[in-house]
Chains A and B, each alone.
Chain A
Amino acid sequence: MAQLNMVQAINQALAQEMARDDRVLLLGEDVGRDGGVFRVTEGLLERFGRERVLDTPLCESGIMGAAIGMAAYGLRPVPEIQFLGFTYSAFEQLFAHAARLRSRSRGRYSCPLVVRTPYGGGIKAPELHEESTEALFCQVPGLKVVVPSGPYLAKGLLLAALRDPDPVLFLEPTRLYRLLREEVPEGEYLVELGKARVARPGNSLTVVAWGSMLERVLKAVEGYDAEVLDLMTLNPFDSEAIVTSVRKTGRLVIVHEAAKTCGFGAEIAATVAEEAILHLRAPILRVTAPDVPVPLAKLIDHYLPGLQQIRSALDEVLQY
């Protein structure tokens, strides 16, 4: 089996799905000739031609709006927004239209598109290139939000997203693009959306993370009997898996790289409070970025949760 990084795994998923289904088209800034700024779509223009891989003008709202019209017409567009921080100008299209089209046409039109966008911090890029505002998108009913944490999952989740009948925001943790290599089967496999996975079994506490934080959490829990859950899909999220694990361990730490206030950790904590409060043996802790804008490179390590912070939270709930 080939050892692939996340860029290669995503590229393979796109190529396989485009070969299988001629409704799948890519569009976005620099996705064609340049193969995308992270080379995720490299080679696809040569293979599938200009009708299937569209280099668009620089217009995030136009790209998103056009993808909605294409999806309603019966295609399966995959718009790429170059960085999550630039989806904000396409917010209206995504929130007010893509996520609502099925509902506001009472099922006459659906919007099966997959928005791909690099996400998260730690790559020494300019401002708005390291955002992790996933929770904003999770507030929108009708939009699925998926975050892979490694190459194998990236391929399987992306294939599942590409076959999903509804709009999916597929957040690709930029820091992981080339950080990890894993065995990725050449053939087709789907990782079901809406399900979490136990990344590491354990008994004394539960840690929930996703995306690039997973790699860090797995390092931090070395030497602890911790169960690590990789959420993979944030909306809809697998509350059952979390509650089941917390019932077993009695302790919960949530780690995310987004700011704390109204971050997705709040939703998880509230869900556990609703469904498993009597199983808790310690308060739920969140390890997150502070409530400040994502900084430039020199401060990013102070922004992202570090190993030490995660370990102090683990100790705190264990010693409570």
Chain B
Amino acid sequence: MPEVLLADFQIKRLEVLNEKGETDPELLPELSDAEMWRLYELMLLSRIFDERAVALQREGRIGTYPPIRGQEAAQVGSAFALTSKDWLFPSFREMGAHLTLGYPIPQLLQYWGGDERSQKVPPGLNIFPFCVAVGSQIPQAAGAALAARYRRDPVAVVTYFGDGATSKGDFHEAMNLAGVFSLPLVFICQNNQWAISIPLKGQTASASLAQKAIAYGFPGVQVDGNDVFAVYRATREAVEKARSGAGPTFIECLTYRMADHTTADDAGRYRSGEEVTFWAARDPILRLERFLEGRGLWTPQKREEAAAQAAATVDAGVAQMEAAPPPAAAELFDEVLATLTPRQAGQRKVR
């Protein structure tokens, strides 16, 4: 009996914008100059917000914070393809996606400052709370996608997670559910190549994470995660496909965490300076600047202006965060159940 070839797979990487700022005109998404500039502003805002948050932690003004430096293109580029009707199930390192969707800065800072009240997502945005238990938001996103389909809502559900999360059972259970039920779900893996000190090859023996989708019966693609146009293009296609009922997509954004894992971490203990330098040269913001400059849209002067504006926005957010009075002890009880149990009510009285 001959062996039969059951299937033969390919896995692709999408790249649109290279490090020199050159693009493939065939692949460049249709974006106006204003939209391209907006992408730049949002990435810059994310960078400045992030630097500020790290500084606030160092000054003891907020708690432990997980920096996003280096991942701005993956976050802004993907979230830019969403509307406020879509549902987002983030992990804890997607502040750039939040900023892109207009999530209030004081509230983001309040969260990392340890204030429960920050977790009430503003009306008009369908964003789930930050999820610290790695990967557990992914099946929840599958449930929202099931519900959206049941309701016949033409929305996409998008979930973000890191490379470490792809080792968890919940990732696999959700990928399988998405495939079996052909859900309007987009999986966005920010493969920043490190899960604290464990490098990608300590997480998987696969040649790519994107190829994992093949096993679940839907497309997976790797994109250059430091290339905002590639991320945007792939996400837009995936969310349009989801909204039209054509099923799930897995997008692996191959990027790099330039900062420490969190402000409590020292990445110098486990990775080399050369590696960081290598990736710093591939900074997603620099890359977009080179492109915009070639189009006559960018000058150092314009950067200064945009940076000053972003810094002012962040400053205002910091001031507002710090002006909030401390929460009352009763906040402990207020949203545990729709109606407090008699025991909870008794405990609340004496706090």
Contacts and interface: CB of A to CB of B under 8 A. Distances in A.
Closest 9 CB pairs of A and B: A69-B143, A65-B139, A62-B173, A66-B143, A73-B147, A236-B341, A106-B120, A69-B144, A165-B338
27 contacts: A57-B177, A61-B139, A62-B142, A62-B176, A65-B138, A65-B173, A66-B140, A66-B174, A68-B140, A68-B143, A69-B139, A69-B140, A69-B146, A69-B157, A72-B128, A93-B170, A101-B129, A102-B335, A103-B116, A103-B336, A104-B119, A106-B119, A106-B334, A109-B128, A141-B344, A166-B337, A239-B342
A69 B173 contact: no
Nearest to B125: A108
Contacts of A64: 139
Contact of B139 (A62, A102, A240): A62
B20 interface: no
A136 B89 CA distance: 28
A151 B119 CA distance: 41
Which residue among B121, B133, B141, B150 has the maximum number of chain A CB atoms within 10 Å of its CB?
B150
Given A61-B173, A62-B142, A166 B338 contact: yes
B144 A102 contact: no
Contacts of A97: 133, 136, 140
B116 A69 contact: no
A66 B136 CA distance: 10
Interface string B53-67: 000000000000000
Nearest to A25: B150
A96 B343 CA distance: 21
B228 interface: no
A56 B181 CA distance: 9
Contacts of B116: 103-104, 106
Contacts of A232: none
Contacts of B143: 65-73, 77
A142 B339 CA distance: 10
A104 B92 CA distance: 14
Interface string A45-74: 000000100101101011011111111111
A167 B240 CA distance: 33
A69 B145 contact: yes
Interface string A62-94: 101111111111110100000000000100110
A70 B147 contact: yes
Contact of A105 (B89, B119, B334, B338): B119
B117 interface: yes
B169 to A, nearest CB: 6
A187 interface: no
B173 A72 contact: no
B148 interface: yes
B177 A56 contact: yes
A25 B157 CA distance: 19
A97 B116 CA distance: 15
* Secondary structure type dominating chain B contacts: helix
A110 interface: yes
Contact of B144 (A70, A96, A105): A70
A68 B170 CA distance: 13
B139 A236 contact: no
Contact of A61 (B119, B141, B170, B344): B170
A109 B337 CA distance: 11
B341 A73 contact: no
Chain A: interface size category: 35 or more
B150 A105 contact: no
A26 B334 CA distance: 30
A194 interface: yes
B161 interface: no
Given A59-B176, A62-B173, A65-B174, A73 B144 contact: yes
Contacts of A25: 150
Given A69-B140, A92-B136, A104-B129, A59 B343 contact: no
Given A59-B173, A93-B136, A96-B136, A69 B335 contact: no
A107 interface: yes
Contact of B337 (A57, A93, A96, A142): A142
Interface in A275-290: none
B174 A73 contact: no
Interface string B163-186: 000000110011011001100000
Nearest to A97: B136
B331 to A, nearest CB: 9
B194 interface: no
A166 B344 CA distance: 15
Contacts of B351: none
Nearest to A27: B146
Given A56-B180, A59-B177, A141-B337, 4 more contacts: A75-B147, A101-B129, A106-B117, A108-B120
A201 to B, nearest CB: 23
Interface string B242-273: 00000000000000000000000000000000
A18 B26 CA distance: 51
Nearest to B332: A103
The residue among A62, A77, A89, A236 with the most chain B CB atoms within 10 A of its own CB is A62
Interface string A135-172: 00000011000000000000000000000111000000
B321 to A, nearest CB: 16
A62 to B, nearest CB: 3
B171 to A, nearest CB: 10
B199 to A, nearest CB: 25
A193 to B, nearest CB: 10
A221 B176 CA distance: 52
B148 A73 contact: yes
B87 interface: yes
A105 B140 contact: no
A72 B143 CA distance: 9
Nearest to A165: B338
